[in-house]
Structure 1
Amino acid sequence: MRMNVPNSLTLARIVMIPVFMLLFFLPFHWAAPASAIIFGLAGLTDWLDGYLARRLEQYSNFGAFLDPVADKLMVVAALVLLVQHDASPLLAIPAVIIIGREIAISALREWMSELGERASIAVSWLGKVKTTAQMVAIFLMLWRHDIAWIPTYTLGMVLLYASAGLTLWSMFNYLKAAWPTLKDDDRLL
């Protein structure tokens, strides 16, 4: 495996997870915004590594595998921390929807790859919008401090519900795209 810039950014995103988690638990006023900033930087590296891979034509099988893993690790870690911090059904419901969808669609992609049909469930524009909404929502909720008159946590919660809705919508679209292949697979029964 040859290391390139996009793969280095993806690995950096994974390294940011324990840093972000440590900052989240520090008992200082600045810790919440600092953890949000690390999360935000990780989100930017997600966009940047994809952009650079296309721009520099630095695609790799390793990058294709690791990039979505890094994204899911960061989002799941953040959602678990947020639910631990604010243990309420109001937060747990969208967190479970988002995490459950990620598990289900990852399994679906794996299965479709085994059937040679992975391209039929490639990442869509809706998946990108969903990811952006999740990242912004989680960033705002991690920040935890109002900015001027803007209640960032509440705004983040509203956006998290919107992203949970987008999550379900994109999951149904992926399942709909995969259904013709899945229903014709006699290994299902």
Structure 2
Amino acid sequence: MRKLRRDPPPVQELEALLESHKGGTHHVDEVIPNLYLGDIVIAKDKKKLKKMGITHILNAAHASWECTEDGIDYGPDVQYYGITAEDCPEFNMSVYFRQGAKFIHKALNTPNGKILVHCVLGKSRSATLVLAYLMIYQGFSLVDAIRYVTERRCISPNRGFLQQLQQLEMDLHFTFWRCAML
């Protein structure tokens, strides 16, 4: 009997993959053209954001206790989307995967669109949303998405987020195979 979907590797293997790619951490890194992954420091620097040409901001730590820039007025030229997410394994980030990915996709398909996805450190919550985007809209497997992003930025989604991304991968494979069988 043929296996219709490939299960993602265990969380321990994903964590080992993340550990094997420990590069430097910057305030912001370009993941794919016009998609930037960063921290709260870059999110507060309106001059730098303007110089970079950022037109959209996805804040994965909106209104959380560690995020104090929520009151920043980015002006009429920047579209802002805030997700109130906690960086703990028990937090259900998966409910934001498709909404976040859709916002990123919309930004990248806007003429001259550039998006900053950030949280506090730019390593867990925001990285999880970028990984989900790559899986949903770019067709990456979870492992390939992790490899791709870690070549550009040091990230470390928590164990709960990795498990939710595993489930996303299984859901995406199921949907693909179901559509292929029709």
Q: Same fold (TM over 0.5)?
A: no
Q: TM-score, normalised by structure 2?
A: 0.28
Structure with higher Rg: it is 1
- Identify the structure with the greater strand proportion: 2
Greater RCO, 1 or 2 (C-alpha within 8 Å, sep 6+):
2
Q: TM-score, normalised by structure 1?
A: 0.27
